[in-house]
Amino acid sequence: MSATPPKQGKPQSAISPTRAENFPEWYQEVIKAADMAENSPVRGCMVIKPWAFAMWEQIQRVLDGEFKRTGHQNAYFPLLIPLSFLQQEAEHVEGFAKECAVVTHHRLQAGPDGKLRPTGELPEPMIIRPTSETIIGASFAKWVQSWRDLPLLINQWCNVMRWEMRTRLFLRTAEFLWQEGHTAHETEAEAREETMRMLGVYESFARDTLAIPVISGEKTAGERFPGAVNTYCIEALMQDGKALQAGTSHFLGQNFSKAADIKFLDRNTQLTHAWTTSWGVSTRLIGALIMAHSDDDGLVLPPRVAPAHAAVLPVLNGKDDARVLAGCRELVDRMRALNYHGRALTLELDARDLRGGDKFWQWVKKGVPVRIEIGPRDLDAGHVVLYRRDKPHKEKAIVPLAELAARLPAILDEMQAGLLARATERRDASSRWVSSEGEIDKLFRGEGAPGFGYCFWAGSPEDEKRLRESLQVTVRCLPLTAPSGIAGQPAGASGPCAVSGKQTGTVAVIGKAY
């Protein structure tokens, strides 16, 4: 009789708990291990550390280029908004009232006990901007006088504050960084075209730069931006099967222009209100990057958004150190002269006095796409040892130094495409058709990652509320492109709504969201 084989222990990983064990805690541990951010002394706010802020700078660089390419200019508007401005648009104030931080005093004074207390009450309370439609509208009302002043295409990079009760780093914080585009147009058609153009910018950015596949669609009335006529969004699926709204674009109609009195003389010399839009993405995209690509060893970054494309790790022996470090520096400088998708090819030399294994694993956890080791023997042989973050950690390639300039960009492009393909395959495998409320219940009450549920939809706001309260499920969007190839999808272009039973050709994507 053969002996009983020993039990296999679970594979070792750098992050504990793993994704399968506790996804929310894994997410926090990845941020900590990659040294990305930490909670601040201010409730619900975060300190963004250099590695993560460099990601935000890459996001800014690419998006800002797209905004300028499409004719937009950057400007800056006040952090504080008079309360009366927010009250101009009824739906807007109702939508943000519970999230507003309010400034009521402008001075501190020490009391008899030495403690500082606010004094100097403001004649009108000021709101720390949750969004800037109203304050920007006040400027637009002064800038727009004639149809010749239009279109007015403005973008702002700034911070905003929404007093969230339950916060999570990058995904939902009281203060966060974002960009908000605001535009005014002569006609409804032009404003609608702008709304869809910017949605397309976000969709291609998510796909081509972040390697995240998204669904573009329209929000239902219950999920619409307060005061908007139509809200459009991009929705991404994370590895735990939950949906993440990654960007929004709003057609505001004339609601905000009437509230702010943005009027102009049209081509017939008639006084009319402008048609406006707004659109934005935030540091939530960094949370999306973490949850879409990372693994149980830490962060995994698409090369086009990574702060550094490669980490150069010298192998030192105490004897040849000066020669090895000189060779590493020469490599870093030579590669920086190359262009990779609009920026210098960036190699970061890690010459710290640490054990090689510690350095290696720190860069694994930080998600740098490529790790390059160079020691005395490698210099003598004229090659480097290259490790890819998207491959098993012990898998290495020997690359001649003379070929590295040509091969590294190709390797990075292969990794970028591979991450997108992997995320797309995961999303598609987690998408299924649901034809009844019972099937919705089964999908989202079951164990494991729920994913996206597709269905015919003619539900009412009450139907949405019931789904939200009973299953914590929402209609993420009504996709702009007809879905195909969804598991269980019926052949017809129309059918009964999964909730109301009414016949419809409208399709909805349902999911659990953050």
Burial (CB count within 10 angstroms: exposed 0-12, middle 13-18, buried 19+), residue 234: buried
Give the dihedral sign, CA 136/141/143/147.
Answer: positive
User: Residue 176: pLDDT band by 50, 70, 90 thresholds?
Assistant: very high
β-pair partners for 280: 180, 248
Copy the structure tokens of residue 182: 């605001």
CB proximity list for 1: less than 8 A, separation 6 or greater:
none
pLDDT at position 9:
46
Reported as a single tens digit per residue, the pLDDT across 402-446 is 999 999 999 999 999 999 999 999 999 999 999 999 999 999 987
Identify the H or E element spanning 503: strand 503-504
Say yes or no to pLDDT of 5 above 80: no
pLDDT (average), residues 342-361: 92
**High-pLDDT (> 90) share of the chain, %:** 89
Give the dihedral sign, CA 84/89/93/94.
Answer: positive
Say yes or no to pLDDT of 195 above 80: yes
pLDDT at position 7:
41
Burial (CB count within 10 angstroms: exposed 0-12, middle 13-18, buried 19+), residue 359: buried
Q: Check if the beta carbon of residue 34 is closer than 8 Å to that of residue 14.
A: no
**Domains along the chain?**
23-293 (3.30.930.10), 310-427 (3.40.50.800), 431-511 (3.30.110.30)
Copy the structure tokens of residue 248: 């929004």
Cα–Cα distance measured from residue 222 to residue 99, given in angstroms and rounded to the nearest whole number = 18
Length of the chain: 514
- Other C-beta atoms lying within 10 Å of the C-beta of residue 461: 11
pLDDT at position 10:
47
The CA–CA distances, whole Å, from 304 to 207, 210, 283, 460 equal 11, 7, 16, 42
User: Residue 90: pLDDT band by 50, 70, 90 thresholds?
Assistant: low
pLDDT at position 440:
94
- Quick one: how far is CA 233 from the chain centroid? 12
pLDDT at position 4:
35
Considering the chain, what is the average pLDDT of its residues?
Answer: 94
3-state secondary structure of 203: helix
Does pTM surpass 0.85? yes
Say yes or no to pLDDT of 461 above 50: yes
Copy the structure tokens of residue 313: 């790790």
Best CA proximity match to 215, nearest among 453, 53, 43: 453
User: Residue 1: pLDDT band by 50, 70, 90 thresholds?
Assistant: very low
The CA–CA distances, whole Å, from 312 to 46, 98, 308, 315, 395 equal 30, 49, 10, 10, 17
Give the dihedral sign, CA 174/177/178/183.
Answer: positive
Q: Check if the beta carbon of residue 231 is closer than 8 Å to that of residue 250.
A: yes
Say yes or no to pLDDT of 201 above 80: yes
- Other C-beta atoms lying within 10 Å of the C-beta of residue 344: 12
Burial (CB count within 10 angstroms: exposed 0-12, middle 13-18, buried 19+), residue 329: middle
